[in-house]
Structure formats: C-alpha cells, structure tokens
Amino acid sequence: MIQLTNLDKYYSTKFTRTFVLKGIDLEIKSGEFVTIMGPSGAGKSTLLNIIGMLDEASAGEYLFMDEPVYKIKERKRSELHKHHIGFVFQAYHLIDELTVYENIETPLLYKGIKGKERKSMVADMLDRFNIVAKKDLFPEQLSGGQQQLVGVARAIVGQPKLLLADEPTGNLHTEQGHIIMDIFKKLNQQGMTIIQVTHSEENAQYGKRIVQLVDGMVKSDDLVAAEAG
Amino acid sequence: MINILGMTLGISCALVILNFVRYESGFDHHYQLADRTFRVVEQMKFQDGVKYLNTTAYPLANALRSEFPQLQYVTQTHGPVTGIINNPDLSQFEPFEDHQILFVDNFYLQIFNTDWLHGDPVTALNDLQSVVLTRSQAYKYFPEAISNGRSVLGRTINIKVPGEFEEQFKVSGIVADPPPNVTFRYSMLLPYTFYEKQDPYATGNWSGNYQGTTFLTLSPQQQPHEIEKLLPTFKSKYLSPEDNRRKSYYLQPLTDIHNDGTYGSAPGSYVLSSKYLYALTFLALLILILAAANFVNLTTAQAINRAKEVGVRKTIGSTRSQLIKQFLCETFVITLISAMLALSLTSTTLSSINELLGLIKLQLSIDNFTIVVTAGLILGVTFLAGLYPAIAISRWNALKALNTNLSTGAHNNTPIRKSLVVLQFAICQVLLGATLIVAWQLKFMNNKDLGFEQQEIVNLPIPEYDLERLEAFRTRLQQNPYIQQVSFASGVPTSHNLKLGTTFRLKSRPEESKLPAEMKVTDQHYLETYQLEMLAGTGVSMAKNDGQFTGFVVNKNLVDLLGLSPQEAIGQQIVINEGEAPIIGVVADFHNVSLRDDIEPCLIFNWYPDFLWEAGIKILPGRSIETLEFIEQSWKEFFPQSVYRFQFFQDYLNGIYATEKLLLTFVNAGAVLAIIIGCLGLYGLIVFSTSMRIKEIGVRKVLGASSSQIINLFSAEYIKLIGMAFIIATPLSWIALNKWLDGFVYRIDIGIGIFLLTLLIMLLVAAISAGFRMWKVIGSNPVNALRSE
Ligand SMILES: Nc1ncnc2c1ncn2[C@@H]1O[C@H](COP(=O)(O)OP(=O)(O)O)[C@@H](O)[C@H]1O
Ligand SMILES: [Mg+2]
C-alpha cells in the first residue's frame, strides 16, 4: 500500500538545509498496524503527514497504492482523503461550530452519501463509541477523552482503508487511551491499515510492528512479539 | 493598522462635514443683536397659491418706525448693486467693478455691528455723497491705505451704476470686512438717503415692483408675534385695498435666513436649506458609526487572539477591572492616534475645499470647536468601541483562556460579533444606497432638459440703453462668421435673483382672476438665441417708438392657467400691471425661474430699451476662444467707459447650483470614504475570521473537502450575513430617501434596482477581499493550517 524510497524532508533557510527526514525507506502493506516511535523532534509527525499527503516530501519517492504521490493532482488528493485515508490528531481538531453529530457527519457529506444511509452510519458510530447522549453537544462541552472518541469516530465513519493517528492518546489518561487502542485493534482486525505515532510502549504493543525513528532516520523496524491479549 | 486607518478616515470625514455644517448653520449668528433681529418678509396671495418674497416695498421701514416706536431699530436697504468704481485722483487707475454696493441707513450699522477702523459710525452716512469702505476695498482703491488708513478719509471715488447714476462719493469711514458667513455681504456702504433722492419714485412706491430688504430689531423684552399681530392693521393703513387684501407681512428671524428656503435666496447671497444640513450631519454620523462599528468588530476579533495573555494575567493576579482598564487604555491610545492623524487630514481637506469652492467663499478651518468635538469623539469612541471587547475578554476565566485552542474562546461571542458585522454591512449598504441616490438626483437636476439652449452662449452686460447703439453693436458682432445670434434682454431664461414680477389676466375676465407672472423683456432674437420651442404664433414683436409693447409671447404654463390651448390663446388680450397687449406667440415651458422651483407663468416681450441689460451671444460650437477676443474688442470699442465682463451661460447656471454641486462633492467624498472604511472593515474581519478558521479549513481538507467546497461554505456564510444586512438596510433607506426626494419638485423615482446594485457592490467587495485572503490558505498543504500554535 505504501512504499517510501530514500525519502528526504528538509527545510531550507538562506544558508543551511535542515533535514527532518533523511533517506527513509519504508514499506507498509495493506492490513498492517504500524507504530512509529522515537524522541520528540525525530520527525514522526512529519513522516505521518507526508504519508497522509498533508505535506510533501522534499526528495525521494513515495508510492501510494503503486502510484507516485507527487503526480497526484489536488483533485485526486481530495478524493483519496475522502475515500481512503482517515486522520486522528493529538489535538483532536474538531470543528468548534459544529455539534458532535455534525462533526462525524462532515466526511460523509463530502463523500456525497445520501440522507438516510448517512444518518444510520453516524448513528452507528455514536452507538459504537457510546456517545449517543452527547450528539448535540459542541466540542468545548466535552472532556478530552470524549473529544478524541469523536475524532476517531469522524476518522473511521467513512470506512477508510488507511487510518493515520498522530499521538491520539497524547492528551488522554491511560484509561481513555486504552479504549482508543482497543478500537484501533478491532478496526485493524477488520482489515483497516493503521499507522500510529505514540510515546507509550504500552500502546505500541497493540500494533504489530514498531518503527523507531531517530533524527529523521529509521533506527529499527521490528515486529511486535506476539502477545497474549 | 486597519483599526487606525478606518478610524482616521471616519473621524476626518465627520470633522470635515461637521465643520461645514457648523459654518453653514452659523450664518449671521455672530451679530450682537442677531437673536432679536428679523427680516420683514412678504406673502402674496393669489387665486391658486401664495408667493413668498424676501424683499418689501421701500417705504416700509419708515412706516414701521413711525407706527412702532417701541421697536429698537428698523432699517431699510437697497441692493446690493453692481457699479463701476473709478479713482479720479489717479490717472493710471483701471476701473474696478464691484458687485456688493449696498445702500443702508444709519440704523443698519447699529443692527449689524462691525468693527470701525476709521471714521465716525454715528455720522459716517449723514452726508448724501459719502461712502464707507470695507478694509479690503479701501486697500484696493487707495494703495496708500495699507500704511495709513486714516489718510483715505475725505478722499473721493467715482461710482457709476449703469442706468442709474454716476457720482463722486467721499470716503467717510473704513470698516472691517464682514466675516464670510453673513447673508448680506457688502464691499461698500452708500447712504440710503442718496438712493431715496436718486429714485424718489421707487423709494416712495408701495405697489410692489420696487423692493429692498427691511430689517427690524425688537426691544429686549418684545416677542416677534406681538409685532406680527399688529401688522395687519398696520398694512391696511398704507397699502392699496387690493394690495392689502393680497399681501401680508411676517417676521423671519435673521438667523433662519440662510437655512430656510421658503423665501428664497437674498439678493447676492444663497440659501442652504437645513434639510441639506441635516442630511449631511446624518451622513457624518453614519460614517462615524460605521467606523466605530468597524473598530469594535476588529478589536473584539483581535482580542480573541489575546486570550492567552488574558489567562496569564489572570493567573498572576490581575483583577477584572484592571483588565478592563488596560483594554480601555489601549483603545484610547489607538483612538488618540487616529484622532491626531484625522485632525491633520481634516485641516488639509478643509483648505482644499476652500479653494475648490471659491465661489461661495467658504472659510473653513480647525478651531477650538473642532478640537473640543475631536476630544469628545475620542472619549465617546473609546467607550463605545473599547468597553465591549474589554468586558467580553476580561470575563473569560483564566483556565479557559489558557487551555483552549484559540478558537474556542470565540464561540461565546459569535452571535454578537455576527450581529455587529450585519450592522456594519447594513450601514455600509444604507450609505451606499443613499449616496448613489443623492448623486443620481443631483445629476438628474444638473442634466435635466432645461427647455432652452445653454451651450456656447456668452452673456455680457449692456451699460447703455440706446436702441440705435445696440443695433450698431449687433451689426458689428454679426460681422463675425462664428457668431450665430445676438440678443439683448433683461436676463437669461433661468433668471435666478433678478426677476421682473407682474400679474396677468385675460382682459375679458374680472380683476380678481389675476395671477402673478414673470416678465422677460427681450428683443426679437431672444427665442432663436436660446432656442425656445415655439408652439403657436410668432416671435417677439418690437415695441412702438413711445415704448408701448405690442404683443406677448407667453409660455405654455401661462396659457394652461388661462385654461386655453396654445392655438386658442393667440390673439387673446392680456392685461398686466404695466398695460395690455394680445398674445402673439406661445412657447413650450422652460425653466424660467430656478430649477428648484416650479415653472412660473412667463411673458416675453419687447419694451423700453432700459430693460435690455444683458446681451446673449450664441457662438458656433468649438469657436469660443477666437470669437471671445473679437467680442471683447467690439465691446470696448462701443462702451469704452465700462468694465468688460463676460460669462458663459453654462457657468452661470453652474454658479446657481453651487450648493447642489457642493453637496454632491460631500456626498461623493462621503460615499467613497464609507466604501473604503467598509471595505477595510470587511477585509479586516475576513482576514481575522479566516485566520481563526484556518485550522477548520485544514481539517475539512483532511476530511476530503475540495477547494471549491470550502470556498462555497465560506461564501455562503458571508452571503447570508450580507443578505441579512440587505433586508435590514433596504426598507430603511427606501423610506428615508423617498422622504428626502419628496422635497424636490423634479425628482427621480427609486426602484429596487439601485438597492440590488448596492448589494452587488457589497458582494463583490466581500468576494474580492475574502477570496484574496482564503486563496493562500486553501492552496497550501493542510499541514500548514493544522500546525498547532
Ligand atoms: N515548518 C517547519 N520549519 C522548520 N522546521 C520544522 C517545521 N516543521 C517541523 N520542523 C522541525 O522538524 C522536526 C520534526 O518535527 P516533528 O515531525 O513534529 O517531530 P516529532 O513529531 O517527532 O516530535 C522538528 O525539529 C521541528 O522543529
Ligand atoms: Mg509530533
């Protein structure tokens, strides 16, 4: 699904060029659950954003579903966001002016899903995350954990093939984090490809593979030892 | 920055307009007795209406003085008239023309107090042939007066008023120049007693065609209605029974004269109706409100960016009132800076307006009043524009301000902010609509078909009234192939200040059926020169040798009043105050008085040459420059004693409508300013609201929104706001503007089109400023939008 070859990301100032990512080679197959770890400033978010096409690489090659990303036009990119990629952010990034219900509904509106089906899909999500009672509240009226549940619901309601999550539990208690992780695991079992960034060893264990990033380079890339539960 | 700019423009505009309004509404107020002084005005009843006159018969003042000894002063004036001034002592002296020669009695200077520089105010006008000069005139005629004014006393000047007299006058006093904002300006004062002696027929005549201005000053405890009450008995004693029945006298406060159009413009002056002044003040207020609303909007919007600062300040122990004070102070400083900038902008604007409008002698400048108003504005705006954001921001609790993403804090304020935006849009639309309509109406008045030719006609004064000489002059002029027509007449078709009044009736109908009419004494070429349209009959016929007129050309309005068709009217015998003659021609209606007034019945005929005061020369289009030289040469050959002066008829018309033009200038400037301020505000708001919602744009892109969907979303929002503003603004401006337009005899009709136009402009401005701003955000990678901080 994702193939990165010798990928660089740098920021140029007048005289210097600061590399954030350098020579990244990474292949992620459909159905994987990859955790990206590493110290702060290592370039994890940058990498995730490039994979999610929120940002562009400076050099190197990125194939998404066997297609070179630099060739993908704006229109197609927005199609990919609609149908194939879901995002969960550390800062939730819910739309303040919309209710919980409307937030979850938004991607479906962009997908062009019609009334009744859309309603049932949103209802499904509300049900699944146990937030039916909160559907008419605005984001600022929710706790952080609840907001992130909405964020996850919004990311997966359109049934994307790839879910990207940048420190989804970073602002949450351990407890709330586990809930999110359980959901991720279930989604992965249902066939969703997931790439998450986390600092937590514990959360990393939910995935199947851990990529260690240090100073913009891949330091290690290991499968998670099969665990019991 | 946008704050300061918008505020500066708003305050400047308000100051300029307020200055002008104050100037125009302060006419004659500075005279010490102004609040007890009245002009005697006359209303004349006719079968179908009332005619308002601001002049009265000359003997009135004397009669008032003897009948009402309790009045403090009564004064009679004549003029102002135009004369030619010569200094016989100086052989090199070029004659001057003076348009402001006023004849006054000794009481005039008691009422209209002025600074005496030299001479004795009590005796100055006692001698029949004395003259009091204003300082600037004294300097003009006697250059040595600049160093020694007193030396001028006792010197003589030669004054010639064409057709009336030419005499020597001894300078008996020098007074300060009257301030520019007085209705009755003069450059020199001659004794009224001289005029009395000069023209005993006119000055002793109660009958009506010979009139001057009469003023009276009440005693301190008197009320004007006490005198007005006695006037009917008074007039019955002096007027003929017929006049007594039709004429009545009223007292008009001196300080109302300049701003009340009822009685028309005083001779040599102009009236600016308070209707205009209210409209202008209203405009200034709207612009100020617009600027203040902008300011509140932008300050509140930007203050949300300072949520963090507020949080930090609160955690370190700042109390709410301290925060409010801090915000108020900041607003104060911004307003102060704006006001300072505005003051300098205002003074430049005022001086350029003074230059622009030399015609009506404005002298606007920044004075204490302006400073006080500015100070008031600063305080007012600080509280208006500073208090709301200050309270709103300081109310947020510390934790919320610290923790939330930037946008969350804004949520509470959204409805209020949105209504402010709507208000702002609405004001902008009202202003825009008002401006377009005022401008449209004024253009309409300017371009309206006057009913006569006005292009390429030059008017010259005629100083001698000798038919043979006039004919010779005409022959001479017509030698020039570029001169198409030459006509001598009492005046141009739109006679503004100078109007020959009479009454008319069919000879076959009773005396009571007579109606007022306006006379134009002309030669046979008048109709062709001004291209008045003939409906029936023939043109003007010449008077008999003894001066008796032989026939009238009348306008359509007059035959309508008689209930006749133009064809039926031909041959009907008409009686006017001055005699009788048949109707020989009918012309289509044209604006024979003023564009502001209705067309009046008009009689055009040839009479004594003494009435042919003015030549109208129609030149071949595009040939004015070379022809003018020829005209001047010929004129000087024929009338070497007089001052040559010419005016294009078109320029004269523009002069009459100077106040309309002035208003147009103000309205245009105000409109442009309003649009600029509005656009600045709109731009600021949109910049802010997009910057607040950049994240949202990013999020929506991540969720799969295309650029066009995002643009649609935001457009829909702004369209909704502008639409709401439109719904509020349109009925308001429609009602207000129709009211305003009702004051005009010839007015435009406003339809929905003009409002749709304003809506379109608003949408366009919004689209441009929003589109420009959002394009950057939408075009870049979403990561830029999502990066926290
Ligand atoms: N727009 C930018 N300009 C310059 N440097 C940037 C920019 N965005 C991120 N960086 C730098 O890139 C590095 C990696 O950032 P990031 O991917 O957010 O790290 P991580 O998520 O691993 O903590 C950091 O050192 C950061 O300072
Ligand atoms: Mg990061």
Q: pLDDT tens across B75-127, in order?
A: 999 978 878 888 766 666 677 878 789 999 989 988 999 899 999 888 899 99
- Does position B411 have pLDDT exceeding 50, yes or no? no
What is the CA(A166)–ligand 2 centre distance, in A? 7
Decide if B408 and A96 are in contact by the 8 Å CB cutoff: yes
Same domain, yes or no: B228 and B283: no
Ligand 1 centroid – CA A50 distance (Å): 12
Of the candidates B146, B766, B752, which has an alpha carbon nearest to the alpha carbon of residue B421?
A: B766
Domain presence at residue B262: no
Q: Name the pLDDT band for B450 (thresholds 50, 70, 90).
A: low
Q: Which atom of ligand 1 is nearest to the CA of A49?
A: 17
Binary contact (A93, B704; C-beta < 8 A): no
Distance from the alpha carbon of residue A52 to the mean position of ligand 2, in angstroms: 14
Whether B278 is in a domain gets the answer: yes
Residue A81 sits at the chain B interface (C-beta within 8 Å):
yes
Q: Which ligand is nearest to the CA of A18?
A: 1
> What is the pLDDT, as a whole number, of residue B299?
72
Number of structural domains chain B divides into: 3
Residues B120 and B158 in one domain: yes
Q: Of B193, B220, B242, at which residue does a domain stop?
A: B242
Give the CB-side neighbour count of residue B789, counting CA atoms within 13 A: 0
What does the DSSP assignment read for B623-639? -HHHHHHHHHHHHHHH-
Which helix (H) or strand (E) element contains residue B516?
Answer: strand B515-521
Q: Which residue positions in chain A have pLDDT lower than 70?
A: 226-229
Is residue A41 lining ligand 1, measured as CB closer than 6 Å? yes
Beta bridge partners of B251: B40
Q: Are residues B92 and B235 in the same domain?
A: yes
ipTM of the complex: 0.87
| Predicted pLDDT at B692 | 67
Is A42's C-beta closer than 6 angstroms to any atom of ligand 1?
yes
Question: Do B494 and B385 belong together in one domain?
Answer: no
Distance from CA of A96 to the nearest CA of B (A): 7
pLDDT tens-place string over residues B15-37: 888 888 888 888 999 899 999 99
The residue whose CA has the least distance to atom 24 of ligand 1 is: A41
pLDDT at B405 exceeding the cut of 60: no
Decide if pLDDT at B789 tops 80.
no
- Is A199 an 8 Å CB contact of chain B? no
Instruction: For residue B757, tell me if it sits in a domain.
Output: yes
The Cα of A178 is separated from the nearest Cα of chain B by a number of Å equal to: 24
Nearest beta carbon to residue A93 from set B404, B410, B695:
B695
Among candidate residues B198, B227, B242, the one where a domain is terminated: B242
Q: Is residue B267 part of a domain?
A: no
Same domain assignment for residues B368 and B497 = no
Task: Mark yes or no for CB contact A93/B786 under 8 Å.
Answer: yes
Q: Is residue B646 part of a domain?
A: no
Determine the Cα–Cα distance for residues B175 and A160; give it in Å rounded to an integer: 95
- Whether A11 lines ligand 1, by a CB cut-off of 6 Å, is yes
d(CA B470, CA B713): 79
Residues of A in contact with B706 (CB under 8 A): 75, 78, 110
pLDDT band at B651 (very low <50, low <70, confident <90, very high): confident
Q: Same domain, yes or no, for B236 and B334?
A: no
Rounded to the nearest 5°, which phi and psi values hold at B331?
A: -60, -45
For residues B559 and B419, membership in a common domain is answered with no
- Nearest beta carbon to residue A49 from set B405, B700, B783: B783
- Position B412 scores a pLDDT of 45
Q: Are residues B355 and B468 in the same domain?
A: no
Residues B320 and B381 in one domain: yes
At which residue do the structure tokens 């993908």 appear?
A: A72
What pLDDT shows up at residue A220?
92
Task: Answer yes or no: is B248 within a domain.
Answer: no
Residue where one domain finishes, among candidates B220, B242, B264? B242
Residue B645 belongs to a domain = no
Angstrom distances, CA of residue B588 to CA of B547, B556, B655: 27, 5, 25
Domain assignment of residue B520, yes or no: yes
Please report residues of B whose CB lies closer than 8 A to that of A139: 408
The b-or-e profile of A137-167 (16+ CB within 10 A means b, else e) is ebbbebeebbbbbbbbbbbbbbebbbbbbbb
Look at A133-147, B223-237, B336-350, B736-750 and tell me which has the smallest mean pLDDT. B736-750
pLDDT at A14: 81
What is the domain range of residue B384?
2-13+273-445+657-786
Residues B287 and B373 grouped into a single domain: yes
Task: Name the residue of A13, A18, A22, A46 whose CB sits within 8 Å of the most ligand 1 atoms, as the mutation to test its pocket.
Answer: A46
The CB of A34 under 6 Å from ligand 1? The reply is: no
Q: Is A160 in the pocket of ligand 1 (CB under 6 A)?
A: no
Q: Assess whether B6 and B57 both reside in one domain.
A: no
Question: Across chain B, what does the average pLDDT equal?
Answer: 82
Pairing state between β B483-489 and B647-648: unpaired
- Shared-domain flag, residues B423 and B479: no
